[in-house]
Structure 1
Amino acid sequence: MAANKIFVFAAVTFLSACQNNKSIISVSYEDGGNLQEGDKVLLEGIAVGEVSKFHFVPKKVFIDLSMEQGVKIPLNSQFVVNKSLLGSTCIIIKPSHETAFISNMDTVMGVSYKEPVIDSVKQRKMQAGVQKIIQGLSEVLHAADTDSMSSVKESNKPF
């Protein structure tokens, strides 16, 4: 019975890949982590695919990812379910340093974290944004301080 389920799962996945000329990678998770069809798959902060189908078997869920053609993902990369601080969910691929790549129709193990994960690209962008905000605030405060000093000098002039 279990062999029949795996065969059906493989057949459905294969047919899905043939229909849209995209490669399909199936990721196995213990928990789907609130993922939904259409959720983005990110590699180095760039959308390279989306969640396309769910296949439930006892104690696991296999999630098919419809990937853009030509995307190369090294073997042993981590497929992390990311629950963002704002409530949206996506899969972040943390690439390994392997020189061989995952192929169309491969099945890999996924990783689920309970806390939000911020990939390194987003983290750098956020840090740069915060630095710009701090610099802007500093300039505003400096300008306000300069204006205050001018007002004080003007009010101390004799009439």
Structure 2
Amino acid sequence: MASTSRTRTRRGRGRGRGRGSGSSSLPPPPSTPPLIIEEFFIVVYEDPLVKKALPKKFADYLDGQEPAKVYLRAADCGPHLWTVEVLFDGQGRMYLDKGWENLAIVHGVDFGCYVHFKYEGDDVLTVKVFDGTMCRKYYYSDDEDTDDESDDDVKPCIHPL
């Protein structure tokens, strides 16, 4: 029995020393990584053709570099970029405004759609549209790949499959 009480006493003293001394065997907490927002989505709950609010975290990411417009590229639809004006409300919110409605109409953005954005840098966002069943909408271009067509003749992907 004597050995049992000595063990308990030793354990108790060992725990007390570590707590009160301020020294810890735990590593310091990791530093906060930089805020990097590359991908996000919005859900279309209201009129799909009116300005759309982007996540506040994304607006915060662009703080100090707030563009007057962004360029949206529908994923897998070639080089066509949709120019969309951007509004900031002064309270940290960012909205897609004029130009958004054109992309929304052409790519079938409707109530209940999920729109996925990937920030590519240089004010370019790649866009993927998912319908209300969470399945991606795919589009194709009318253009045929021929040698005599230039990039100036590229049409946006406008026809849903």
The TM-score, its normalising length taken from structure 2, stands at: 0.35
In proportion to residue count, which structure has more strand? Answer: 1
Q: Which has the higher helix share?
A: 1
